[in-house]
Amino acid sequence: MLKTQTSLSTWSQERNMKWLVLLGLVTFSECIVKIPLRRVKTMRKTLSGKNILNNFLKEHAYRLSQISSCGSNLTFHPLRNIKDRLYVGNITIGTPPQEFQVIFDTGSSDLWVTSVFCTSPTCSTHVMFRHFDSSTFRPTKKTFSINYGSGRMKGVVVHDTVRIGDLVSTDQPFGLSVVELGFDGIPFDGVMGLNYPKLSFSGAIPIFDNLRNQGAISEPVFAFYLSKDEQEGSVVMFGGVDHRYYKGELNWIPLIQAGDWSVHMDSISMKRKVIACSGGCKAVVDTGTSLIEGPRRLVNNIQKLIRAMPRGSEYYVSCSAVNTLPPIIFTIKGINYPVPAQAYILKDSRGHCYPTFKENTVSTSTETWILGDVFLRLYFSVFDRGNDRIGLAQAV
């Protein structure tokens, strides 16, 4: 959902001055830190979603509870399914701490949350950072913007203390949004980018790098377990890997180049026939994208192969056909990663079944696929910054 495009835009000087004037007025651990994530579904159709969403959020306000020990630092969240699946977890910012629900996104590098100065209609549904309540807040004069696959934001860079469980990043640069567009019906307060520094649109050092530099993380590694079970939380873990979350061995895949969570994929096949990525291609492992995305022509071909029929701007399949459709196999470094139809076909709130393949709106010079949550629910993923590689194994 939140893959970033590679274009950076700037504001006019007048807008810069407006928000800058407003802003002017106003542990070291050797343990693995595990942050359970909450699985949510975003609205595919607007309909009366705004009122439904607002009432749902009021009735199901979450509470943060923590259990800390040397072996683990756990923050538990209740699961909330609203529609298409995405994963969010809680962080706090400021002194005293203010709590936010953010998407932990390997497809981007910037941390940002909604500010009290944001006047976009979407912002009224988000928790807003109250900078005037934080004694450790520090403003800057830098502005930035980010275009995501599902929306865009504009913001200003500031500094404050950020906490992920017991991990503390002091004087962490992050963004405060003043404009948010395209995020209607998505229950989140911001994004925590976990990609490499070179992909930061704000120019700020990402929080993972800051934690690493400050000695808060013993190993430069984090990992995701995205649960298929709506009754149990998903987990992102920092500083190591909990082997209970996967079966067998981790398969390590070197990055195409250090600086982006992208690997070389051998092929995509079905019934032993290559249907995409025939000469090898690029695969982006992205926890911030809910679906599997690729070039339009190849995605359309897959829709035909699984007998998906267009209905408006969406594709649907017969729910009775799900158990007869074959798995689609993604081959990476000689290892097959099958995705069965029960995983790549989902059911919406009206009981209609739809495939999770989508056209990638970002044009690239080479064939590129984005392996989002549909793929990552099946495969435990490890992001190893120290060795510039990704590990995959069958999730439990």
What are the CA-CA distances from residue 341 to residues 3, 321, 393 (Å)? 24, 9, 19
pLDDT in tens, 79-123: 232 344 678 888 999 999 999 989 989 999 999 999 999 999 999
pLDDT in tens, 110-159: 999 999 999 999 999 999 999 999 999 999 999 999 998 778 999 999 99
Does 243-395 match 33-50+75-225 at the fold level?
A: yes
> Could you tell me the residue ranges of all domains in the chain?
33-50+75-225, 243-395
Least confident of 13-22, 168-177, 342-351: 13-22
Examine the residue annotation and report whether 105 is marked as an active-site residue of this protein.
yes
Kindly indicate the confidence band of residue 206, based on its pLDDT and cuts at 50, 70 and 90: very high
Name the one residue in this structure whose structure tokens are 């051998």: 266
Confidence at residue 13, expressed as pLDDT on a 0 to 100 scale: 41
CA-to-CA distance for 146 and 6, rounded, in angstroms?
9
Beta-carbon contacts of 360 under 8 Å, excluding residues fewer than 6 positions away, are: 3, 149, 293, 294, 295, 296, 299, 368, 369, 370
Name the one residue in this structure whose structure tokens are 């509470």: 63
**Hey, what CATH topology would domain 33-50+75-225 get?**
Cathepsin D, subunit A; domain 1 (2.40.70)
Using alpha carbons only, give the angle 20, 23, 25 rounded to the nearest 5 degrees: 115
Confidence at residue 19, expressed as pLDDT on a 0 to 100 scale: 44
More confident residue, 338 or 36: 338
pTM of the model: 0.83
Examine the residue annotation and report whether 286 is marked as an active-site residue of this protein.
yes
Catalytic residue among 84, 209, 266, 286: 286
Half-sphere exposure of 141 (CA within 13 A, CB side): 2
**Hey, what CATH topology would domain 243-395 get?**
Cathepsin D, subunit A; domain 1 (2.40.70)
More confident residue, 76 or 379: 379
CA trace torsion 225, 59, 82, 127 (10° rounding): -70
pLDDT (average), residues 225-233: 70
CA-to-CA distance for 181 and 151, rounded, in angstroms?
5
pLDDT (average), residues 269-282: 96
221 pLDDT exceeds 60? yes
Kindly indicate the confidence band of residue 280, based on its pLDDT and cuts at 50, 70 and 90: very high
CA-to-CA distance for 181 and 79, rounded, in angstroms?
26
18 pLDDT exceeds 60? no
Least confident of 84-93, 223-232, 261-270, 375-384: 223-232
Mean pLDDT, the chain, rounded, equals 82
Output the six-digit token pair for 45.
Answer: 């159709």
Beta-carbon contacts of 95 under 8 Å, excluding residues fewer than 6 positions away, are: 134, 135, 136, 160, 161
List residues bridging with 247 in a β-sheet.
394
Burial tier of 77 (Cβ tally within 10 Å: 0-12, 13-18, 19+) = buried
3-state secondary structure (DSSP) of residue 124: helix
40, 327 contact by CB (below 8 A):
no
Using alpha carbons only, how large is the chain's radius of gyration in Å? 21
CA-to-CA distance for 247 and 254, rounded, in angstroms?
21
Catalytic residue among 105, 110, 209, 266: 105
Confidence at residue 39, expressed as pLDDT on a 0 to 100 scale: 61
**Percentage of the chain surpassing pLDDT 90?**
60
Kindly indicate the confidence band of residue 196, based on its pLDDT and cuts at 50, 70 and 90: very high
26 pLDDT exceeds 80? no
Least confident of 33-47, 185-199, 204-218: 33-47
CA-to-CA distance for 295 and 293, rounded, in angstroms?
7
Residue 5's identity, in one-letter code, is Q
pLDDT in tens, 361-385: 777 789 999 999 999 999 999 999 9
